Amino acid sequence: MSKVAVFGSGSWGTAFSLVLADAGNEVVMWARRQEVSDVINTSHENTDYLPGVALPASISATHAPEEACSGASVIVLAVPSQSLRANLEDWSKHIPDEAVLMSLMKGVEVGTAKRMTEVIEEVTGIGGGRVAVLTGPNLSHEIAARQPAASVIACADESVAEALQARCHSPTFRPYTNSDVVGCELGGATKNVIALAVGMAVGLGFGDNAAATVITRGLAETARLGVALGADPYTFSGLAGLGDLVATCSSPLSRNRTFGENLGRGKSVAEIAASTRQVAEGVKSCESIRDLAARNGVEMPIVEHVAALVRGEMAPEEMLASLISRAAKPERI
């Protein structure tokens, strides 16, 4: 078996480690807390994030980044997007010279408005041909239950994407390849913000018409930004765009949709964040995506309104009323 290092022992990092193990890889997970790695190694279960899910013997864990990296041909990054830069500055010296890096993260960095692969390339100095992203409709609890799912692996070097595809193809997980890294990353990051808006509509008691409207217009916003940054517009009709958006906006398993529902029911951002150890990426990325759009002259009203709400400048009911009352215009603008 070939070794894969997975940096991140949360729900998604653990679920994807199962995918990799089922595909025939030896997996070493890096855990931020020593006690998490100890439990994984002794009980073969991540009791903090995926309790009740048995981990095979081909998955082990460590708190030492050098141990995780040693001998690994693939490094998978599955930490919260806003902590990537600081972590990677420490980890990069341990990355083997020929290793390929693959991001599972769906965010845009606050302050720089950089996508995660851009941050990886900047910090490590590794070229885009060895940096990939995996994205799609991948709710971690369903993946961990080995329910059928598909995803997209995007890399500037198509041969690298194909090699990663082979490493991740398990009996229940089907990865496709794509060369549109920009579109795949933007689809994954922006859908979290749209899911917050959908959740707010649901939390306020609105029905499927409102949810479908936000999902559809959110997809239009995502595509506008992507095209402005050079993405292939067809990417947004695939798994990395529409597929991920529908899953995240529709499922009660979605952190971002659930966070939005709680906002719609009157809880504050601080109250909701304090009640869970899970990260809702859209709460952090909404401001950076808004900044990215502004820098490129792209109008994204849903993203702009969610960012204003997270800043405390608007209530959920005000946000939705403001969106509906905007000047009418043709749909394809």
**Catalytic residue list:** 191
Q: Are 6 and 76 in contact (CB under 8 A)?
A: yes
**Cα 281 to Cα 108: distance, rounded to the nearest angstrom:** 9
**Cα 78 to Cα 26: distance, rounded to the nearest angstrom:** 17
**Cα 41 to Cα 75: distance, rounded to the nearest angstrom:** 20
Question: Is 32 exposed, middle or buried, given 0-12, 13-18 or 19+ CB atoms closer than 10 A?
Answer: middle
Question: Is the torsion defined by CA of 145, 148, 152, 158 positive or negative?
Answer: positive
What's the DSSP call for residue 282? Answer: H
What's the DSSP call for residue 174? Answer: E
**Cα 221 to Cα 303: distance, rounded to the nearest angstrom:** 8
Q: What are phi and psi of 330, to 5 degrees?
A: -60, 150
